[in-house]
A = this chain, B = another copy of it.
Amino acid sequence: MTFAVPLVDESATAAGKEPLTEDEFLAALMKIGEERYHSLHPFHKLLHGGKLNYGQVQAWAVNRFYYQLSIPRKDAALISRLHDHKLRRLWRSRIIDHDGDEQNEGGIERFLHLTDALGLDREYILSTRGILPGTRFAVEAYVNFVRERSILEAIASSLTELFAPAIHEERIAGLLKHYDFANDVTLSYFRKRLTEARQDVEFGRAYVLTHAKTRDQQEAVLNAVRFKTDVLWSQLDALHFAYVEPALIPPGAFVPEDRK
């Protein structure tokens, strides 16, 4: 018995097509955000609207921390592929933003202020053993994408930062309004990202505009950004499924007090 293997539809590829103009390319990028960014996910609307209970917010923080903790691994994976020491040095600032240095505690320590305020044990959080399989798979897919794809695609996958400032502002406002644990210290991670991400995204945007010249390269960039929106979206699917509806927590994952 043989299986019908679905073949790539060659007509659907960009081969032979004219490159997009810069305006068209940027518009296509922004359209991905409008259609696919995780700000559209029901779980985010619940979080920002104050509709989640304490345990559900804890579950979000437990899982989101893993994403945060893994971002420098993703950035180091890119640096480990760059032969240009000046580009490496530029990209390194992202790792410093998250892992910190002598002057700056860094995003990961900042995020731990939030998990502290949510009554979550640091050893437990740092062990990452309570995260959902869906979180781990999505995050590792992102790290592997950056390890394996072209440098252009690896850099392009960071471009969801184009859409991030709006969601950070919405998140800060929503959490402050609705939840007791929210204050300047516990939300300092998101506030700091408002300025950090703006600097990073300028570089990323300029890089893809300079390096994606053919239509194939432009489509590869757009697909990298789509891939990244999937990484973000599927993490919220996993949270929604486990903790909202049908609220089926997978074996080994974090169990809030009121579900024990």
Chain A residues with CB under 8 Å of chain B are 69-70, 72-74, 76-77, 79-85, 88-89, 92, 95-96, 98-101, 106, 108-109, 126, 128, 143, 147
Contact = CB atoms under 8 A, between A and B. Distances in A.
A117 B98 CA distance: 39
A88 to B, nearest CB: 5
A57 to B, nearest CB: 23
Secondary structure at chain A's binding surface: helix, strand, loop or mixed? Answer: helix
A95 B99 contact: no
A130 B246 CA distance: 61
Contact of A80 (B77, B99, B109): B77
A80 to B, nearest CB: 4
A81 to B, nearest CB: 7
A143 to B, nearest CB: 7
Contacts of A83: 69-70, 73, 128
Given A80-B143, A128-B83, A147-B80, A89 B73 contact: no
Contact of A89 (B84, B101, B126): B101
B92 A99 contact: yes
A178 to B, nearest CB: 29
Contacts of A92: 92, 95-96, 99
